[in-house]
Amino acid sequence: MRVLIVGGVAGGASAAARARRLCESCEIVVFDRGEYVSFANCGLPYFIGDVIMEEADLLLATPELFAKRFNIEVRTRSEVTAISASKRTITVTNLRTGVEYLESYDALVLSPGAQPFRPDIPGIELAGVFQLRTIPDSVQIKAAVQGARRAVIVGAGFIGMEMAENLRLQGLEVTLVELADQVLPPFDPEMAILAQERLEENGVVVRLSTSVTGFRDDGGLAVDLSSGETLPADLVLLAIGVRPETKLAKTGGLEIGPRGGIVVDDFMRTSDPNIWAVGDAVEVHDLLTDNWKLIPLAGPANRQGRIAAQNVVGRDGDHEVSRFRGVQGTAIAGIFGLAAAATGASERTLLRAGIEKFGKVYLHNDHHVGYYPGGKAIALKVLYHLGDGRILGAQAVGEAGVARRIDVIATTIQHGGTVYDLAEAELAYAPQYGAAKDPINVAGMIAVNNLEGNLPLADWAHLADTEASVIDVRSPKEFASEHLQGAVNIPVDELRQRLHELPDHKIWLICGVGKRAYYATRLLRQRGFDASNLSGGMKTWRALAASGLAAR
C-alpha cells in the first residue's frame, strides 16, 4: 500500500508515524512545501522571545529521523499542486528545481494546515509587516526585533497575546490593535479583561474596537487606525487568525464546508473514499454546540492524524476503524505569568448556537488553601445546562492551578458530566496543592445550589435597571473602600438582627467574592425574603463593569 501525506507538521507527521507503526510494509511519503517538517509551531513566539534559544530546539523531528527511524520518505520544498481523485495521483512541484511530477497513491492524507489571514489593507505588502506561521517567519521577525523600538500587533488572539508578551520582554514598545471590543475571543469579555489588564500592567498598549486602515512607508512604517490615530512602527505582526488551506483539496473536487474547511466524516475521511484530511484545514464537530467549526489547535490535529492513519491502514486487513470524537475547544495561553484557559463553549458561543437555557457561576477561590502561604486566586466561570446540570463550558484566569482546573472540567465535559459531578469530584489535596473543597468542588456546589433552587442568581446585566435593593453584606470597612451605587451595607453577621431594615421586595446580595452573600441568601430566603446572589461578588463586578457588562 502506498500512503502519501501532504503536510509534515502536527497532523501530517502524526499520521505518517502512526501509519508506519501499524504498517511496516506500506510505502509512506510525506510532502511539505516548506524546509522543515514536524516543527514546534506553538513555540515560535517563545523562540522570537529568546525563551527557546536554539532554532534546532523547534525541530521535533527531521527528514533524516523520519527516514532512519520510521523508513518514511520526507520530501521538503515539494509543493503538491493538484489531486486527481479518479486517477489517484497527485501533482508535485519540486520547489528547488521547478520540476513537476506525478505520484500515485492508494491512500492520501491531507494535512495542509491554515494560512495566516491577510486582509486587503493598503500597504500590507510593505517590508516590516510580518505574519507568524513557520520557522522562516520567526527567523525574519527575530531579525527585525534587533534594533526595533516599536511594534504593532494586529489581533489579540492567542498568538497576538503571546507575541505581545515576548516582544515587550525584549524591550519593545508594543501596541496591540484588536477589531473586537475585547482580547482573547474564545473567552467572554469579563474573563478576557483580566488578561487585558495584565497586558496593560506590563506596559502593552491595547486598542480595542479598532482596525488597521492602512500601512504606509512614512520614512519608517506607519500604521493608520480606524480611530484616526497613526502608530509609527519598526515592526508589525499580523495575528488576525488563519484560514484553512483548501486550494489543493479543491483541485481534487473534495467537498468544502460552509466555513471554508475541508469536510470530513467522524473517521477523518473526505468526500473521496481514498482521501483523508486532518488538522487546521478541516471542519470539526463541536461537541458542545453540535455545530461544525474551524478550531485550529495542535492537540486535536495530532489525534486526528493518528486516527486518519488508523483508518487508512486498518489492522490485519479487517475493517476496524477509528472515530474522532470531535472537539471541545480546550485551550490555554500565558500572559506575563497569568494563565487564561477555557474548555467547551463560552456564553457568547452558546447564545450564537441558540442555547439559552444555561446558568453561570463565578468564583475566585485560591488555587490552594488560604492558610498555606502563596495561594493565588483563580477567576473561574462555569456554564451549565439549567435543566440537567450538564457542563457546557468553563473559563479560568489566574497565576497558578489554572490548567489543572480547566483540565478537570474538560474531562468532565468529555464524559457528559454535570455540576453534580464537579461537586462530588475527589481531587488531590494537601495544603500546598489544593483544598479539601477544591475550587472545582465549590463551583459545582454553587451551581447545584442554584439548580436546586437554593441559590437564585441575580442577573448582573440588569444591575442598572433592576428594581431589587442591593444589600452588601461585607464589613463596613470593605464597603467604605468601594461599593455598588445605591447598595446598602448590612454585614452578614448582623443580618439576623437587622431583618427589619430589609425591604419586602426583591433583594440582591453582594459581598467580596460571593461566599458571604451566599450565606445571606440562604438566611433571607428561609425567612421569606425574595433574595438572590450576585455571583462572584465585587471581584466579578469589577471585571464586568470594566467590560461594559454591568453598571458602574
Cell numbers at 71, concatenated? 523508513
Q: Where are the alpha helices (DSSP H) in 23-157?
A: 44-48, 63-70, 135-145
Q: Which is nearer to a copy of itself, 403 or 546 (CB)?
A: 403
| Nearest residue (CB) to a copy of itself, 331 versus 484 | 331
Segment interacting with a copy of itself, rule: CB under 8 A, options 45-53, 99-107, 188-196, 258-266 = 45-53
Which one of residues 27, 43, 103, 274 is an interface residue with a copy of itself (CB under 8 A)? 43
Residues 65-104 that bind a copy of itself (CB under 8 A): 65, 68-71
Distance in angstroms (rounded) separating the CA atoms of residues 81 and 355 = 42
Task: Work out whether 291 is an interface residue with a copy of itself (CB under 8 A).
Answer: no
**Contacts made by residues 421-428, CB under 8 angstroms, sequence distance 24+:** 421/391, 422/382, 422/391, 422/447, 423/447, 423/448
| Choice from 404, 457, 468, 534 touching a copy of itself (CB under 8 A) | 404
Residue 488 or 523 having the CB closest to a copy of itself:
523
- 23 catalytically annotated: no
Closest separation between CB of residue 187 and a copy of itself, Å? Answer: 13
> Are 237 and 256 spatial neighbours (Cβ–Cβ below 8 Å)?
no
Determine if 321 is a binding residue for a copy of itself (CB under 8 A).
Answer: no
Helix (H, G, I), strand (E, B) or coil at 105: coil
Q: Are 111 and 281 within 8 A, CB to CB?
A: yes
The amino acid that residue 12 corresponds to is G
Q: Which residue's CB is nearer to a copy of itself, number 81 or number 432?
A: 432
- Provide the greatest CA pair distance for the chain: 89
Compute the least distance from the CB of residue 346 to a copy of itself, in Å: 15
When asked if residue 414 is in the footprint of a copy of itself (CB under 8 A), the reply is yes
For residue 134, state whether it binds a copy of itself (rule: CB under 8 A): no
> What's the rounded Cα separation, in Å, for the pair 277 and 267?
10
Which is nearer to a copy of itself, 100 or 493 (by Cβ)?
493
If one asks whether residue 209 binds a copy of itself (CB under 8 A), the answer comes out as no
- 8 Å CB contact between 13 and 61: yes
Q: How far apart are CA 513 and CA 365, in angstroms?
A: 8
- Determine, following the binding rule CB under 8 A, whether residue 434 of this chain makes contact with a copy of itself: yes
The answer to whether residue 168 forms part of the interface with a copy of itself (CB under 8 A) is: no
Beta-sheet pairing, 469-472 with 488-489: parallel
Minimum gap (Å) between residue 545 Cβ and a copy of itself: 28
Phi/psi for 430 (5° steps) reads -145, 160
What minimum distance in Å lies between the beta carbon of 13 and a copy of itself?
A: 11
Contact 362, 534 (CB under 8 A): no
Q: How far is the CB of 68 from a copy of itself (least distance, A)?
A: 4
Out of 23, 26, 42, 511, the active site residue is 42
Of the pair 220, 299, the CB lying nearest a copy of itself is at 299
Q: Report the site for a copy of itself in 472-531 (rule: CB under 8 A).
A: 492-493, 496, 518-519, 522-523, 526-527
Does 408 sit near a copy of itself (CB under 8 A)? Answer: yes
Report which of 133, 180, 128, 134 is spatially closest to residue 149, judged by C-alpha positions: 128
DSSP 263: P
CB-nearer residue toward a copy of itself: 406 or 549: 406
Considering only 158, 215, 460, 541, the residue that binds a copy of itself (CB under 8 A) is 158
Q: Rounded to an integer, what distance in angstroms lies between the CA atom of residue 312 and that of residue 169?
A: 46
Judged by beta carbon, residue 179 or residue 433, the one nearer a copy of itself is 433
- Interface with a copy of itself, residue 332, by CB under 8 A: yes
Closest C-alpha among 67, 97, 64 to residue 79: 97
> Quick check: 49 and 66 in contact, CB under 8 A?
no
From 128-136, 188-196, 225-233, 292-300, span contacting a copy of itself (CB under 8 A)? 292-300
For residue 274, report the phi and psi dihedrals to the nearest 5 degrees. -105, 10
Site for a copy of itself in 5-24 (CB under 8 A): 10, 20-24
Residue 297 binds a copy of itself, judged by CB under 8 A: yes
Q: Cα 434 from chain centroid?
A: 25
Among the residue ranges 141-149, 262-270, 300-308, 531-539, the one whose residues contact a copy of itself (CB under 8 A): 300-308
Look at residue 282 and give its three-state secondary structure.
strand
Q: Which of 246, 247, 251 is nearest to 264 (CA)?
A: 246
Compute the least distance from the CB of residue 277 to a copy of itself, in Å.
18
The residues that are catalytic are 42
